[in-house]
Amino acid sequence: MVRSYLSGKMVPAEIGDRRPVAIMLNNIDDAMPMSGVSAADIMYECVVEGGLTRMMGVFENYDDQEKIGSVRSCRNYFVYFALELDSIYCHYGQSAYALPLLEEDYVNNLSGLAAIGDTVFYRTTDRVAPHNAYASAKGIKKGIEDMGYRNTYRDDYIG
How do residues 1-33 score in pLDDT, each as one tens digit?
999 999 999 999 999 999 999 999 999 999 999
Check residue 121 and give its pLDDT: 98
Which run of H or of E encompasses 109?
strand 109-111
List phi, psi (to 5°) of 68: -120, 125
Q: Say if residue 159's pLDDT is above 90.
A: no
Q: Please tell me the pTM assigned to this model.
A: 0.96
Amino acid symbol at 82: A
The three-state secondary structure class of 141 is helix
Mean pLDDT across 33-57: 95
Q: Say if residue 50's pLDDT is above 90.
A: no
Check residue 130 and give its pLDDT: 93
Q: Which CATH class is domain 2-147?
A: alpha beta
The three-state secondary structure class of 15 is helix
> Any idea where the domains of the chain sit in the sequence?
2-147
How do residues 89-141 score in pLDDT, each as one tens digit?
999 999 899 999 999 999 999 999 998 899 999 999 999 999 999 999 999 99
At residue 144 the predicted structure's pLDDT band, cuts being 50, 70 and 90, is very high
How do residues 51-87 score in pLDDT, each as one tens digit?
899 999 999 999 999 999 999 999 999 999 999 999 9
Check residue 49 and give its pLDDT: 85
Check residue 39 and give its pLDDT: 97
